[in-house]
Chains A and B, each alone.
Chain A
Amino acid sequence: MKEINILVLADHAEILETILRLIGNHDNWKGFGAGSAEQAFAAMEKNKFDLVLLGVGVDEETGRQIMEHCRAADPKIGCIRHYGGGSGLLYSEIRHALQTG
């Protein structure tokens, strides 16, 4: 089964850690964390991601910039906003993004 690489951007360290742990609990998902937009851009230069989650602390403008960056790099890279802080919605958000593109 193909490994799905997911970049999570969030400026709340504990919540970011929780989200990465939950992603890591899934068999073929691998999470990477970024605590700032700069770290996210740097991570995207070095690695290829299937999905980018915009978490807590990411404002509208930063979110728009990252979405545009993803689209320019590869239109197949999904970029969605993550709500809720890990619990509850995370799995269905990821599955929905991966299925609907």
Chain B
Amino acid sequence: MKNSIMHQSASRFSADHGWLKSAQTFSFHGNYDPDRIQFGALRVLNDDTVNGGKGFGRHPHDNMEIISIPLEGTLEHQDSMGNIAVIRPGEIQAMSAGTGIYHTEFNKNENEPVTFLQIWLYPDKLNVAPRYDQQSYSDGDRHNRFLQILSPDSDDEGVWINQNAWFHLGDFDGGAVTDYNLKVAGNGLYVFVISGDVEVNGQLLNTRDGYGIWPESPVSFRAVSDASLLIMEVPEKW
């Protein structure tokens, strides 16, 4: 097994539906590349921008852990469990689709686009009862450090999902350095650069690049410029 994989921003699939522009790291909908299916349990990493007032109409999901992280704008979610919620930058939403759920996602603002990351992870249990969770965090909590925003444990920091995965966000000043230690040996780490430039174990990444690694030791980060990062620790098998 290769121990790292680079996904440069420009290598992502793109889809333009007018109201929706989507940059997709892995095969999704009509875009298919057998070499770009998943990174361990991480199956979807879509970087979506939806025009004002537009959105995804009622559609189903099952057996998938679905995470939304808004980067700009506001996103309104409604689902068949009766949840109605608006999420903004500084918040994360997690939905366990399990035995089946219908939902809609719309840009709450008529005049401004919403940009958000839509992330799907394979669940470690099939056919669980659907559930929805949403949490907020402050900018200061992730300044020059990684803030945990997702875990498999309902008592731990952030939202929880049905998979041995941990997500962290960090906003680093240029020149800042830090390390990340895996929670579980053998897991992989997928780094997504929201903005800026960073070296990860010496590999330079730029805005919207992705880099997956199966590390044997702590992963080192050095911000080359001010940089905002999402890191996702996921299992290879589950």
**Contact surface of A with B, Cβ cutoff 8 Å:** 10, 12, 14-15, 18, 55-60, 83-89, 91-92, 95-96, 99-100
Contact = CB atoms under 8 A, between A and B. Distances in A.
State the 8 A-B residue pairs at the shortest beta-carbon distance, nearest first: A56-B62, A85-B62, A92-B27, A85-B60, A85-B61, A12-B100, A92-B32, A84-B64
B66 to A, nearest CB: 9
Interface of B: 27-32, 34, 37, 43-44, 59-64, 97, 99-102, 120, 122, 126-127
Contacts of B63: 56, 83-85
B235 to A, nearest CB: 15
B60 A14 contact: yes
A12 B32 contact: no
Interface of chain A, helix or strand or loop or mixed? loop
B32 A15 contact: no
Contacts of B97: 84-85
Nearest to B98: A56
B43 A89 contact: yes
Contacts of B43: 83, 89
B60 A86 contact: yes
Contact of B60 (A15, A59, A60, A92): A15
Contacts of A55: 62
B28 A85 contact: no
Contacts of A83: 43, 62-64, 122
A12 B61 contact: no
Contacts of A99: 34
